[in-house]
Amino acid sequence: MTKLSVNINKIATIRNARGGNIPDVRLAAINCQKFGADGVTVHPRPDQRHIRFSDLYEIKPIITTEFNIEGYPSEDFIRLVISVKPDQVTLVPDPPDAVTSNSGWDTVKNKSLLTDIISRFTEAGIRTSVFVDTNPVNIETAALTGTNRVELYTEPFARLFPENHENAISPFIEAATIARECGLDLNAGHDLNLDNLKFFHEKIPWVKEVSIGHALISDALYLGLENTIQIYKRQLSD
C-alpha cells in the first residue's frame, strides 16, 4: 500500500506568524501519526520561515512511523540531516528564496554533485530520494547517482488534471515505469489533493509514498485533522 507522509510545514507557518508555540508542531507530528499517517515530512529552509532547525530535533524522538526531511543540499542542510538521522532525505533543487518547490533536478548537469551528497547520506544510513520531473533522461541519470528513490514532481499533473485526466497522467505513467525499470523506488508529491490523488494512485499503484502538505492541512481546517488524514488514506486504498 502507498504510504501517506504528511508535510507539517504549514502548521509551523501558522505558529511563526504569531510567535510562541501555538500550534505545537511536535504535537501535530504526534497526532498525524496517531490519526493514521504513515510518516511525517518537513522542509526546513535557510530563513526558517516555517519549520525551524530546532524543530527537527524535537520531532525526531516522537516519530513512530517514518521521518522525511526535504531540502536543498547546502552544507548546512547536509550537516543538519546527518545529525538528526531521519529515515529519508529528499533532495530538491530549490534556491534559498523559493516560495515552494517548482521544478525537479537537472540530474545530468548535477550528477557529480548529487552522487557525492548521496554517498554521504548513504554512509550515514539515510535513505535518499531525488526530486525529478518526468524527463526520462533525468530519471535514468538519477539512477546512476546511487539514490534509492526518485520523487516525481506532480504539479504539472495537478495543473492539467481538471482539463484532461488522461493527458495529465500519461507522462507520469511513463516516468514511473522508467524509474521502476531503473531499479528505483518511487515517491510523488506537490499539489496532490482530494480531487486528483485517487486517480493518480489508480494509474501508478506502485508508488511507495506520497508527501502531501498544503492541500491536506488546508482541508483539515474544514474537516479536522483526523478526519482529513483518514480521507486521504482512503484515496490510496487498493
Query: What is the value of pTM for the model shown?
Result: 0.95
Query: Which residues have CB under 8 Å from 215's CB, separation 6+?
Result: 191, 192, 193, 194
DSSP codes, 174-193: HHHHHHHHTT-EEEEESS--
What is the per-residue pLDDT for 209?
Answer: 98
Q: Does residue 97 register a pLDDT over 70?
A: no
**Tell me, what's the pLDDT at 100?**
58
Segment 59-83, tens digit of pLDDT: 999 999 999 999 999 999 999 999 9
Q: Tell me the pLDDT tens digit for each residue of 36-61.
A: 999 999 999 989 999 999 999 999 99
**Given pLDDT bands bounded at 50, 70 and 90, which one contains residue 95?**
low
Q: Which residues pair with 42 in a beta bridge?
A: 69
The domain 3-235 is classified under which CATH number: 2.40.30.10, 3.20.20.70, 3.40.430.10, 3.40.50.300?
3.20.20.70
How many Å apart are CA 69 and CA 6, to the nearest integer? 11
pLDDT of amino acid 219: 98
Q: How far apart are CA 90 and CA 49, in angstroms?
A: 19
Q: How confident is the model at residue 99 (pLDDT cuts 50, 70, 90)?
A: low
The mean pLDDT of the chain is 96
Residues marked as catalytic = 43, 70, 190
* Mean pLDDT computed over 220-229: 98
**Torsional sign, CA 112, 118, 120, 122:** negative
DSSP string, 19-51: -TTSS-HHHHHHHHHHTT-SEEEE---TT-SSS
Confidence at residue 102, expressed as pLDDT on a 0 to 100 scale: 65
Note the residue count of the chain. 238
Q: How far is CA 114 from CA 83, 121, 144, 221, in A?
A: 19, 11, 10, 38
How much is the pLDDT for 98? 57
Q: Tell me what percent of the residues of the chain surpass a pLDDT of 70.
A: 96
CA dihedral 72, 18, 39, 155 (to 10 degrees): -60
The confidence score (pLDDT) of residue 94 equals 78
Query: To 10 degrees, the CA torsion angle through 187, 188, 189, 191?
Result: -160
Strands (E) in 27-153, as ranges, are 39-42, 67-71, 88-91, 127-132, 149-153
**Torsion, CA 186, CA 190, CA 192, CA 198, rounded to 10:** -10
